[in-house]
């Protein structure tokens, strides 16, 4: 074996001695030149993991009014707390059984148990879809800007992620999205209402997408359904390639317990069971979820609070001259412009957290505010007025006022 071959395998002491004996070789120079190379003993993940994006939610220091993560800003149903108080210490030692609660959830939505799967939040649902239906070389289709975890889970399985960028209206680009479907498309994810834009996609358009790609799974992410009201849940089980995702983190206020669901064709749900852990949803979530679902009065009260608050926030933004996008969700996206970070910092100083969305494709200068209950909306609007005044913000600082609206990229 040549010295060069030995170098490729590592630099043991015996090789260093051999180089020195041959003369004319400066061992220190060689070691310095190769010091940046990974050692053969260093563990490396799959190439896809090295290349995939990483999600970094700004979770540190959230001891303030939480208008940043689209959570329920108040509380879940009182019936949830009553159910928690019935839990026993022995019960915490038992592996959770998902199926009994899945039957209750299925009945609530008018579905068969085999058409429903509970997941560890919708995040896990996205992960399971990618694992079950994507091979390297397959294509997955999303619209951007949207929920970043789509990119993370898809990129883990294939380099074939295709993004269709919305234009400055942030409306769903239906025609261009439909044109992006190819025979290699195996997974399509569409959020309606969408995060962070608040835009919706009609049921007619969603069913047209499903029909245009019978070889692909279409997941409709309805995390913010309650604040909008339109759904494809009635099509779950009837359209063979349709899966509907719902979360119980938003309107139901169970974000800390991590529980979501997928509903649709029993055959597709069966494949997802194969790649899922049998104990993916914790027993506390399974115990309280039926109570959260049963308390329709509480749910409707919270939803009405958010809808009224959304109108108040949009009216305040009109008065302040802040450009924004009409939203069907529990948040509103605002165009602040270059000083978006200053606004977020000023709001934090007033005890209110906002989410800077400038890193999202096509969202430079945009900030999102979550809508909560009446008192939280009042505090949020007051802090926004004060913060904009403190940083001397003017409407001509918005991205559109500066002529920075970007041309639409068909695919990214």
pLDDT at 381: 98
343: Cβ–Cβ under 8 A, 6 or more apart, which residues?
336, 354, 367, 387, 388, 391, 393
Percent of the chain at pLDDT exceeding 90: 80
Model's pTM, two decimal places? 0.86
The average pLDDT across 264-288 equals 97
Summary mean pLDDT of the chain: 90
Q: Angle between the 283-294 and 98-108 helix axes, to the nearest 10 degrees? A: 20
At residue 370 the predicted structure's pLDDT band, cuts being 50, 70 and 90, is very high
pLDDT at 412: 31
- Least confident interval from 29-33, 83-87, 134-138, 396-400: 29-33
Edge-first strand order for the sheet with 116-119 is 116-119, 260-264, 242-247, 217-221, 185-191, 139-144, 161-165
The average pLDDT across 101-121 equals 98
Residue 405 has pLDDT above 60, yes or no: no
pLDDT at 15: 65
Q: Residues 406, 409, 412, CA angle at the centre, nearest 5°?
A: 125
Cβ-based neighbour number of residue 285 at 10 Å: 22
pLDDT at 407: 40
Query: Buried (b) or exposed (e) across 257-267, using 16+ Cβ within 10 A?
Result: bbbbbbbbbee
pLDDT by residue (tens digit) across 217-269? 999 999 999 999 999 999 999 999 999 999 999 999 999 999 999 999 999 99
Q: Residues 42, 44, 49, CA angle at the centre, nearest 5°?
A: 160
pLDDT by residue (tens digit) across 47-96? 888 887 777 666 566 678 999 999 999 999 999 999 999 999 999 999 99
The average pLDDT across 14-39 equals 63
């Amino acid at each position: 074996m040549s010295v060069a071959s030995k170098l490729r395998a590592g630099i043991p002491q015996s090789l260093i001695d051999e180089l020195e004996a041959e003369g004319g070789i400066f061992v220190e120079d060689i070691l310095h030149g190769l010091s940046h190379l990974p050692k053969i003993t260093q563990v490396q993940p799959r190439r896809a993991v090295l290349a995939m994006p990483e999600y970094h939610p700004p979770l540190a220091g959230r001891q303030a009014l939480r208008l940043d993560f689209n959570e329920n800003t108040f509380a879940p149903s009182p019936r949830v707390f009553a159910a928690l108080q019935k839990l026993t210490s022995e019960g915490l030692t038992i592996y959770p059984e998902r199926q009994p609660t899945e039957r209750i959830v299925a009945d609530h939505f008018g579905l068969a148990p085999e058409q429903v799967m509970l997941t560890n939040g919708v995040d896990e649902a996205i992960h399971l879809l990618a694992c079950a239906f994507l091979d390297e070389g397959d294509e997955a289709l999303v619209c951007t800007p949207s929920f970043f975890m789509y990119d993370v889970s898809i990129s883990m399985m294939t380099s074939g992620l295709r993004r269709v960028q919305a234009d400055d209206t942030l409306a769903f680009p239906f025609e261009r999205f439909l044109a992006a479907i190819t025979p290699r498309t195996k997974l399509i994810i569409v959020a309606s209402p969408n995060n962070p834009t608040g835009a919706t996609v009609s049921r007619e358009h969603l069913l047209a997408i499903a029909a245009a790609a019978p070889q692909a799974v279409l997941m409709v992410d309805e995390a913010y359904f309650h604040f909008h009201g339109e759904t494809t849940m009635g099509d779950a089980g009837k359209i063979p390639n349709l899966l509907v995702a719902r979360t119980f983190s938003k309107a139901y206020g169970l974000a800390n317990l991590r529980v979501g669901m997928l509903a649709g064709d029993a055959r597709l749900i069966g494949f997802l069971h194969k790649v899922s852990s049998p104990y993916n949803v914790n027993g506390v979530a399974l115990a309280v979820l039926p109570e959260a679902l049963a308390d329709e009065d509480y749910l409707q009260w919270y939803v009405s609070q958010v809808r009224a608050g959304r109108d108040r926030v949009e009216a305040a933004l009109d008065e302040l001259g802040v450009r924004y996008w009409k939203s069907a969700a529990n948040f509103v996206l605002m165009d602040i412009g270059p000083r978006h970070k200053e606004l977020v910092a000023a709001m934090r100083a007033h005890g209110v957290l906002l989410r800077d969305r400038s890193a999202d494709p096509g969202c430079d200068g945009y900030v999102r505010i979550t809508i909560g209950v009446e008192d939280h909306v009042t505090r949020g609007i007051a802090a926004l007025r004060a913060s904009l005044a403190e940083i001397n913000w003017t409407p001509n600082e918005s991205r559109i006022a500066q002529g920075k609206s970007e041309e639409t990229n068909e695919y990214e």
